[in-house]
Chains A and B, each alone.
Chain A
Amino acid sequence: MGKKLVLNFPSSLVDKPIISSLVREFNLDFNILKAYVTPEEEGNLVLELTGDEGKIGSAIRHLKGLGVKVELLSKEVEMIRERCTDCTACIPQCPVGALWMDKDSFQVKFSSEKCIACGICLKACPTRAMVLRI
């Protein structure tokens, strides 16, 4: 059983070893999909937790108790085809290769399966063809 979560750490928690406690205290495995510390030194982490469902629930409560903002990864990025001009500015920004250029048509392609909804392509797109659906 696995769950994709988006964790936002306040700057006061960025230097604390919080994720390791999920392994020690809740016997969970984690796979970090994305980790980011903003210039304001807040931490943003997208991870997949695997293990007992009850333990995942307890782990989420534990994280919330520490002041971590926890959200299920239920956001989805969508490409509005008519707005996309196929410039490719988004491609090198995508951390997971969910955007690429088709070598024959020179069209930008997007895979929602690979996407982790980090949202960087929304900023990189000059014509705002990428949108976040929640």
Chain B
Amino acid sequence: MKTIAEINEKIKTGKAVVVTAEELIELCREKGVKKTASQVDVVTTGTFGPMCSSGLFLNIGHSRPRIKLGGGRITLNGVPAYAGLAAVDLYIGATALPDDDPRNSLHPGNFTYGGGHVIEELVSGKDVKLEAIGYGTDCYPRKKLATWINLKDVNEAILFNPRNCYQNYNVAVNLSKKTIYTYMGILKPELGNANYCSAGQLSPLLKDPYLKTIGFGTRIFFGGGPGYVAWWGTQFNPSGKRKENGIPCGGAATLALIGDLKAMKPEFVRGASLVGYGVSLIVGIGIPIPILNEELCRQAAVPDGEIWAPVVDYSQDYPQSTGRVLGEVNYAQLKSGRIEILGKTVPTGSLSSYRKAREIASLLKSWILQKQFFLTQPIFFFPGPESGYTFKMLKEKPVKQDNKPN
């Protein structure tokens, strides 16, 4: 049994043993869980994939004369930003699209540029064009603003992502007779390919499946800089089905994350264009897991071959929410490049980069070893499976002619 305070003391004195989740798997194979747990202090993880529920708060500073953007209209490089905040605060979401983007009117749309790309350009240090109109008040008389802005000049740039870091995810296939274009990529007809989106054995929440060490305030690697867990993520579902090893075999937990975009790096914050679907933001995340006891070590050492994901048809079952699962495959099978589904051999592709996940886990490890990054004791933990907290579908209440809620 160790405490986070003791581990931080070891980091300070240069005595902490820090390994990546890949290295931990090897160590446990060689030495067994018990011995490894007594030797290792921290396990680092990583993931790098498109995460649509992401966005950026900006405070651009006041102009002379002043303008009130709140209640007005704002675009950044032509992409609309949310203008429902105070005078010069705004929020740009990853999936926002320029008004003149043709979207899917000629299906599949290309979605070349959107909110995710604006965020990528800002983090790359490029100037971004802000155009805004306000309605004018006595204290904020100006009605129009067009200016280039740069990350280094704005006051605050807070990346705040309400849902990142999915614990596990579907494997998407297409049973229909025509190609479909989804957030899981292009799916060829009749099981032409199977796409997945998780780093598997390196993915943060798969390594601490009950979130025993991750909670509100946990310090993390976020887009290449330090960030924090700000809440549990939207669509959080600790009550889903789990395997005997405790690992969920579907979506499950998510995290809301917050961090300073000015400290991030363009290699870990990238815009994404998903043909026929839209724009997203690819975010690099790494979470350190303190090995406080043997159980945490055992869970963090679960390899790809023992982490399972559901195979779901995205032509009918996913869009219609039927809940049907075609089968289960593990991440070792997925990473081999071929899986078997309904008796057919199907080539696999991933939306999440394992190479980048590895890079993140080893960067986080080096930060800790260089005493640049210390672990945090969460302020509180998130609802667990025993809480009854679950993920709800929308209960539609049709709007009737009298326009009154029923």
Docked pose: A119 CA to B50 CA in angstroms: 22
Would you call B282 and A124 a contact (CB within 8 A)?
no
Complex contact A128–B350 (CB within 8 A): no
Residues of B within 8 A of A39 (CB): 178
Q: Chain B residues near A127: list those with CB within 8 A.
A: 270-273, 282
Min CB distance, A38 to chain B, in Å? 10
Scoring B residues 191 to 208 as 1 if CB is less than 8 Å from chain A, else 0, what string do you get? 011110000000000000
Do the beta carbons of A91 and B347 come within 8 Å of each other? yes
B355 at the interface (CB under 8 A from A): yes
Does B186 lie within 8 Å of A87, measured CB to CB? Answer: no
How big is chain A's contact interface, by range?
20 to 34
A67 at the interface (CB under 8 A from B): no
Question: Considering only CB atoms and an 8 Å cut-off, how many residues of chain B contact the other chain?
Answer: 34
Task: Say if the beta carbon of B354 comes within 8 Å of chain A.
Answer: yes
The answer to whether B186 touches A126, judged by C-beta atoms less than 8 angstroms apart, is no
Secondary structure at the A interface, as helix, strand, loop or mixed, is: loop
Q: Cβ of B356 and Cβ of A86 under 8 Å apart?
A: yes
B298 within 8 A of A: no
Report yes or no: B349 in contact with A85, Cβ–Cβ below 8 A.
no
> Which residues of chain A come closer than 8 Å to B350, judged between CB atoms?
87-89
B218 at the interface (CB under 8 A from A): no
Answer whether residue B130 sits at the interface, using C-beta atoms and an 8 A cutoff.
no
> B332-345: contact bitstring with A at CB < 8 Å (1 yes, 0 no)?
00000100000000
Give the CA-CA distance A126 to B347 in the complex, in Å. 19
Asked if residues A89 and B178 are in contact (CB atoms below 8 Å), the reply is no
Q: Considering the complex, give the chain A residue whose CB is closest to the CB of B275.
A: A123
Closest beta carbon of chain B to A115's beta carbon, Å: 17
* A39 CA to B106 CA, complexed, in Å: 12
Contact among A100, A120, A126 for B351, CB-based, below 8 A: A126
Give the docked Cα–Cα distance between A86 and B337 (Å). 14
Q: Are A92 and B349 in touch, CB under 8 angstroms? A: yes
Does B235 sit within 8 A of A, measured CB to CB? no
Smallest distance from the beta carbon of B126 to chain A beta carbons, Å?
A: 15
Residues of A in contact with B (beta carbons under 8 Å apart): 39, 85-93, 100-101, 105-107, 120, 123-124, 126-128
Binding site for A on B (CB under 8 A): 48-50, 108, 110, 112, 178, 185-186, 188, 192-195, 270-275, 280, 282, 337, 347-356, 358
